[in-house]
């Protein structure tokens, strides 16, 4: 048991709270004018203690020293929330708002402060407000002689919004829109101002119209102000009432009607789209098909003829199929015709929604695309990833299972990897085996830790039951008696441990577990304990990885494995140990079978409740890990050179410090 925790990492122990430790390092860096380093330490201090006003203020002033005005502004805003009475911070925040083009917010803060008698705020407020007042008066006078002057309406609205005269701003944005409905940015302005006025329905209509058919910048800005759901039918209708010539909006409404089974309403919208955009072949084809369904061959024929002559061969093939005409395959290979009409449109809308972060919208469109073409494996894969991002792993798992059967190797491979990653959490029964052998020069011994475990889900409960066989052993078995005490010292448990247990589902990398079983020693009895003794153990484990891990792109990384373990048969001992590595991952070698490696520093510690010397130590030193593409993904070799020191030396028959060279590998598999 002297080797228990031999693979652990150092944690710095001390009485100073982590936030203060980081802050002290930040102030030391400031004194040395190492501003970037100071910023990093201040950020760590704030993460450890978010409500410490002093840290945020000093971070803000440091950010100003390196020219990061916007970040400094945001930190002063946080301080204002924590300490609203700090007038000096409020002034700093207001001036930074003005400098970073947030003049409306700056004016509001100066206005609040001047009402408390602050002369600086009074002057700053007047410097902002007077040009706004004068500009509003000037443009209002211009409108008296020229009521249809677009520029006058727009400028007056813009100045009124900056001055918080929102009803006046909304009035003139709307008049400017009526004069120039091609200026689609006005819909975004209207939606924003109506939202601030609490006119929810009008704001929704303007923003929906702005998000469809506008320039990408305007569309994305509008979507950011919309709720994360698909618009209702009434909202589409209100948006069209405001923007009746919006072809993209009207076409989307037509497809929405189709999904609702309202073909007459859909046909009416497609007719309007065709009038507004007569060269739109997809609309012509869809309208033609609807007329065919209504046995209106005369009305359908001109539209379908237009598609046949339009140059879109896939669309033309669908028309030939509908009209029972011979296919004219002009492509270089015998590609299948495309899916039914709504599939391409649905996939395009799904892609737009996905990129904009509207996952529920994307899911709806992907379902439409799948119904139109049930054999589109790319759609299946996207459905799986969308469900996964929405934290619905059960449905994601089913779609990954379907997508991994794709004839496209890339789709099948991507889906297969995701399927296997989800499988342990979702399959009713799973079996996991792992092994970790390593050699230690400190003990001149080969150690091995391994486990094979079969577990099952317990309905919808967040726990699993399992049966397990562990092996904990070494080659030497024991050392010679130390200092003539007559007792050999065992280097491991030297046992197979059979157990029944339960574990929790993993949450943010944390898993709890407990088991009861029997330990069978392969060396015979240990100091009279017997060949087979009851074994009760449990604990909590945590794994976290950050940065560029092996198997990915090059870059810096950090990871930690932390465990708290209770073992009843060792005097009810509780052990805490941690393994931490920080280092750099190198790029894969183009030759050498994709060789990839990491260099890092180990920082390890172990403590126990009984204060036994072998279970209380800290150690650190360099390490090296590597992997080849031809190896299983979970197989990882490592070598580490460590310098350690015992933190408890009572009963220690050895030196208080040691060197250790360890080499081994880790491998795990799940079925």
Instruction: Determine the pLDDT at residue 329.
Output: 39
Task: Provide the 3-class DSSP secondary structure of residue 627.
Answer: strand
Instruction: Determine the pLDDT at residue 8.
Output: 37
List Cβ<8 Å contacts ≥24 apart for 422-429: 422/388, 422/393, 422/396, 422/397, 423/397, 423/670, 424/670, 425/393, 425/505, 425/506, 426/393, 426/394, 426/397, 427/457, 428/456, 428/457, 429/454, 429/455, 429/456
Q: Are strands 478-479 and 463-474 parallel, antiparallel or unpaired?
A: unpaired
Tell me how far apart the alpha carbons of residues 108 and 86 are, in angstroms, rounded to a whole number.
16
Instruction: Determine the pLDDT at residue 330.
Output: 39
Band the pLDDT of 294: cuts 50, 70, 90: confident
Query: Among the listed ranges 255-269, 315-329, 522-536, which one has the minimum average pLDDT value?
Result: 315-329
* 6-32 pLDDT tens trace: 333 333 334 567 788 888 888 888 888
Percent of the chain with pLDDT over 90: 33
And the tokens for 655? 């030196």
Tell me how far apart the alpha carbons of residues 198 and 414 are, in angstroms, rounded to a whole number.
46
Half-sphere CA count of 197, side-chain side, radius 13 A:
20
Angle at 523 between CA 518 and CA 528, to 5 degrees: 70
Tell me how far apart the alpha carbons of residues 588 and 628 are, in angstroms, rounded to a whole number.
9
Give the mean pLDDT of the chain: 83
Using CB atoms within 10 Å of the CB of residue 459, give its burial: 0 to 12 exposed, 13 to 18 middle, 19+ buried: exposed
Mean pLDDT of 527-548: 80
Cβ atoms of 492 and 478 closer than 8 Å: no
Mean pLDDT of 353-366: 74
Tell me how far apart the alpha carbons of residues 103 and 162 are, in angstroms, rounded to a whole number.
7
Instruction: Determine the pLDDT at residue 202.
Output: 93
Tell me how far apart the alpha carbons of residues 124 and 105 are, in angstroms, rounded to a whole number.
13
Band the pLDDT of 308: cuts 50, 70, 90: confident
Mean pLDDT of 504-519: 88
And the tokens for 214? 């506008």
For the chain, state the CA radius of gyration: 35
Cβ atoms of 497 and 533 closer than 8 Å: no
Instruction: Determine the pLDDT at residue 1.
Output: 41
- DSSP letters, 422-454, are HHHHHSSEEEEEEEEEEEETTTTEEEEEEEEEE
Q: Which residue has the higher pLDDT, 4 or 175?
A: 175
Mean pLDDT of 241-255: 89
Task: Provide the 3-class DSSP secondary structure of residue 388.
Answer: helix
The residues facing 541 across adjacent strands are: 511, 563
Cβ atoms of 92 and 60 closer than 8 Å: yes
Which of the four CATH numbers 2.40.128, 3.40.1000, 1.10.30, 1.20.1050 does domain 429-670 have?
A: 2.40.128
- DSSP letters, 499-540, are EEEEEEPPBTTEEEEEEEEEEEESS--STT--SEEEEEEEEE
And the tokens for 321? 């199929």
And the tokens for 76? 């002063």
- Block residue for tokens 């392969």: 522
Band the pLDDT of 643: cuts 50, 70, 90: very high
Is the pLDDT at 422 greater than 90? The verdict is no
Band the pLDDT of 623: cuts 50, 70, 90: very high
The CATH 2.40.128 portion of the chain extends over 429-670
Instruction: Determine the pLDDT at residue 550.
Output: 82
Query: Among the listed ranges 29-33, 482-486, 556-560, 583-587, which one has the minimum average pLDDT value?
Result: 482-486
Is the pLDDT at 523 greater than 90? The verdict is no
341-426 domain in CATH 1.25.40.10?
yes
Is the pLDDT at 501 greater than 90? The verdict is yes
* 427-468 pLDDT tens trace: 678 888 989 999 999 888 999 999 999 988 887 788 889 999
* 75-109 pLDDT tens trace: 999 999 888 888 999 999 999 998 888 888 999 99
Is the pLDDT at 337 greater than 50? The verdict is no
Cβ atoms of 396 and 388 closer than 8 Å: yes
Q: What are the residues whose beta carbons fall under 8 Å from the beta carbon of 347, sequence distance 6 or more?
A: 365, 366, 369, 379
* 368-399 pLDDT tens trace: 887 777 678 888 888 888 888 787 878 888 88
Tell me how far apart the alpha carbons of residues 437 and 668 are, in angstroms, rounded to a whole number.
12
Mean pLDDT of 178-187: 89
Instruction: Determine the pLDDT at residue 615.
Output: 87
Is the pLDDT at 221 greater than 70? The verdict is yes
Which helix (H) or strand (E) element contains residue 495? strand 495-504
Band the pLDDT of 408: cuts 50, 70, 90: confident
Band the pLDDT of 580: cuts 50, 70, 90: very high
Instruction: Determine the pLDDT at residue 658.
Output: 92
Mean pLDDT of 510-517: 92
Q: Which of 388, 424, 436 is nearest to 561 (CA)?
A: 436
Which helix (H) or strand (E) element contains residue 325? none
And the tokens for 34? 């190492």
Mean pLDDT of 551-571: 87
Mean pLDDT of 39-58: 88
Tell me how far apart the alpha carbons of residues 316 and 322 are, in angstroms, rounded to a whole number.
10
Query: Among the listed ranges 281-290, 311-320, 579-588, 653-662, which one has the minimum average pLDDT value?
Result: 311-320
Cβ atoms of 274 and 243 closer than 8 Å: no
Angle at 625 between CA 621 and CA 626, to 5 degrees: 160
Which helix (H) or strand (E) element contains residue 166? helix 166-179
Tell me how far apart the alpha carbons of residues 637 and 486 are, in angstroms, rounded to a whole number.
38
Tell me how far apart the alpha carbons of residues 228 and 205 are, in angstroms, rounded to a whole number.
15
Which helix (H) or strand (E) element contains residue 298? helix 297-308
Instruction: Determine the pLDDT at residue 334.
Output: 39
Q: Residue ranges of the alpha helices (H) in 605-649?
A: none
Task: Provide the 3-class DSSP secondary structure of residue 383.
Answer: helix
Band the pLDDT of 4: cuts 50, 70, 90: very low
If one counts every other C-beta atom within 10 angstroms of the C-beta of residue 612, the result is: 20
Query: Among the listed ranges 44-58, 238-252, 346-360, 527-541, which one has the minimum average pLDDT value?
Result: 346-360
Instruction: Determine the pLDDT at residue 516.
Output: 94
Q: What are the residues whose beta carbons fall under 8 Å from the beta carbon of 59, sequence distance 6 or more?
A: 26, 39, 42, 43, 46, 75
If one counts every other C-beta atom within 10 angstroms of the C-beta of residue 609, the result is: 13
Using CB atoms within 10 Å of the CB of residue 406, give its burial: 0 to 12 exposed, 13 to 18 middle, 19+ buried: buried
Phi-psi region of 532 (alpha: psi -120 to 50; beta: other; left: phi over 0): beta
Phi then psi for residue 283, to 5 deg, are -65, -40
The CATH 1.25.40.10 portion of the chain extends over 341-426
Rounded to two decimals, the pTM is 0.45
């Amino acid at each position: 048991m002297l080797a228990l925790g031999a693979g652990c990492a150092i944690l710095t122990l001390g009485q100073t709270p982590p936030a203060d430790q980081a802050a002290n390092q930040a102030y030391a860096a400031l004194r040395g004018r190492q501003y970037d380093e100071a910023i990093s330490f201040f950020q760590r201090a704030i993460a450890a203690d978010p409500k410490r006003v002093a840290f945020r203020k000093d971070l803000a002033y440091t950010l100003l020293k390196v020219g990061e005005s916007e970040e400094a502004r945001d930190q002063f805003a946080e301080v204002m929330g924590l300490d609203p009475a700090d007038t000096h911070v409020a002034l700093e925040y207001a001036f930074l708002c003005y400098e970073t083009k947030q003049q409306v917010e700056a004016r509001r803060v100066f206005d609040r402060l001047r009402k408390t008698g602050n002369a600086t705020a009074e002057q700053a407020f007047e410097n902002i407000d007077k040009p706004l007042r004068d500009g509003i008066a000037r443009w209002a006078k211009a409108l008296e002689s020229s009521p249809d002057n677009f520029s006058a309406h727009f400028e007056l609205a813009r100045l009124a919004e900056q001055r918080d005269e929102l009803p006046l701003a909304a009035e003139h944005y709307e008049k400017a829109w009526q004069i120039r409905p091609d200026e689609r940015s006005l819909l975004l302005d209207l939606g924003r101002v109506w939202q601030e006025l609490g006119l929810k329905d009008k704001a929704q209509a303007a923003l929906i119209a702005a998000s469809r058919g506008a320039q990408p910048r305007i569309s994305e800005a509008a979507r950011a102000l919309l709720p994360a759901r698909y618009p209702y039918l009434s909202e589409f209708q209100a948006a069209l009432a405001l923007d009746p010539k919006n072809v993209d909006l009207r076409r989307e409404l037509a497809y929405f009607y189709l999904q609702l089974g309202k073909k007459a309403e859909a046909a009416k919208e497609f007719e309007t789209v065709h009038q507004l955009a007569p060269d739109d072949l997809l609309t012509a084809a869809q309208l033609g098909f609807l007329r065919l369904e209504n046995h209106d061959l005369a009305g359908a024929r001109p539209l379908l003829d237009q598609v046949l002559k339009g140059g879109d061969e896939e669309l033309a093939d669908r028309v030939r199929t509908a009209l029972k005409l011979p296919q004219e395959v002009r492509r270089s290979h015998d590609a299948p015709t495309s899916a039914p009409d709504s599939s391409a449109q649905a996939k395009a809308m799904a892609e737009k929604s996905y990129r904009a972060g509207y996952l529920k919208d994307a899911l709806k469109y992907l379902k439409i695309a799948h119904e139109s073409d049930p054999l589109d494996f790319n759609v299946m894969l996207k459905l799986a990833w969308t469900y996964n991002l929405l934290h619905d792993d059960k449905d994601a798992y089913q779609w990954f299972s379907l997508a991994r059967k794709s004839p496209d190797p890339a789709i099948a491979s991507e889906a297969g990897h995701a399927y296997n990653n989800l499988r342990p959490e979702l399959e009713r029964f799973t079996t996991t085996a792992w092994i970790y052998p390593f050699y230690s020069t400190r003990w001149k011994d080969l150690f091995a830790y391994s486990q094979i475990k079969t577990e099952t889900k317990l309905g919808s409960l967040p726990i699993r039951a399992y049966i397990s066989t562990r092996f904990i052993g070494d080659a030497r078995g024991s050392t010679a008696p130390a200092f003539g005490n007559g007792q050999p010292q065992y280097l491991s448990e030297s046992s197979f441990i059979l157990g029944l247990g339960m574990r929790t589902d993993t949450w943010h990398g944390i898993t709890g577990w407990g088991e009861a079983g029997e330990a069978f020693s392969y060396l015979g009895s240990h100091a009279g304990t017997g060949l087979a003794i009851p074994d009760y153990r449990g604990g909590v484990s945590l794994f976290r990885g950050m940065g560029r891990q092996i198997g990915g792109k090059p870059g810096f990384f950090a990871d930690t494995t932390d465990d708290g373990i209770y073992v009843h048969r060792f005097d009810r001992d509780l052990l805490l140990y941690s393994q931490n590595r920080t280092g750099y991952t190198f790029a894969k070698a183009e030759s050498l079978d994709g060789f990839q490696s990491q260099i890092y520093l180990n920082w390890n510690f172990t403590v126990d409740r009984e204060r036994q010397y072998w279970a209380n130590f800290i150690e650190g030193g360099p390490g090296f890990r590597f992997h080849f593409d031809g190896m299983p993904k979970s197989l990882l070799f490592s070598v580490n050179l460590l310098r350690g020191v015992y933190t408890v030396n009572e009963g220690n028959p050895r030196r208080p410090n040691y060197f250790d060279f360890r080499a081994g590998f880790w491998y795990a598999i799940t079925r």
